Amino acid sequence: MNLSVKEASRLLSVSEKTIYRWIKQNILPIYKVNESYRFNRAELLEWATSRRRPVAVEAFSEPESSALSLPTLSAALEAGGIFYRIEGRSIDAVLADAVAHLRLSDGVDRQYLQQMLITREQLTSTAIGERIALPHPRSPGLLNVVGSTVTICFLEHPVDFHALDGQAVEVLLLIITSSLRVHLHLLSRIGFVLHDKEFRRALLAQESRENIFAALAHAEQKILPPGKS
């Protein structure tokens, strides 16, 4: 989970010199351990996503034995679904309505999940700019969910999520996973496909489910190994 400067530079597709410059500018989430800089992979991915920085395609490579258990983003979205006209005029209200729409395993405490999402927003906004936010629990795996999902929710009213670019949020991509490993996997893929202009356009235009899935499939193909789908 702890990345070195070299590993962080590979993940973000920049030089180690750039990483050290960002450290001096105090703009990266870092930890100092025994005089060495270390990075939390989840925090670094969230940092990159929130600033629209691309993540190296190599970051998605997994040993063949491990990759089998990881869902594609398209499969996670198929499981989670797309919902339009989510109600609410505040962060708490839209998260409450979004949670009410989620396809969750039997026995999952929706009220507990709702509070986890609200608490996460109070700690640090999940808004990434351009009217998009990525709500998710701070500690994936605590909900005893079966499977992992990504759910797109289009808001009926724009809501201020305190985004860095100042734009109110209109689109939520809620990430609910069974483990931290799957969370990082899906977060990496979301960060990547959001750089695809056709997928982003379909998302921001709140197009049909069919168009969004088609745009996502096309974007995600760019990070799948040859012969995989």
Longest CA span, the chain: 52
Burial string for 186-202 (b: 16+ CB within 10 Å, else e) reads bbbbbbbbbebeebbeb
C-alpha 178/C-alpha 141 separation (Å) is 5
Give CA separation, 161 vs 95, 128, 143, 171, in Å. 11, 9, 24, 11
* Token code pair at residue 80: 């989670």
Element spanning 119, H or E: helix 110-123
Which amino acid, 174?
A: L
The full DSSP string for 1-66 is -EEPHHHHHHHHTS-HHHHHHHHHTT-S--EEETTEEEEEHHHHHHHHHHTT----GGGG---HHH
Q: Which of 136, 162, 183, 185 is catalytic?
A: 136
Give CA separation, 174 vs 2, 24, 50, 190, 218, in Å. 25, 33, 15, 11, 21
- Let me know if 157 is a catalytic residue: no
Q: What residues are labeled active site?
A: 136
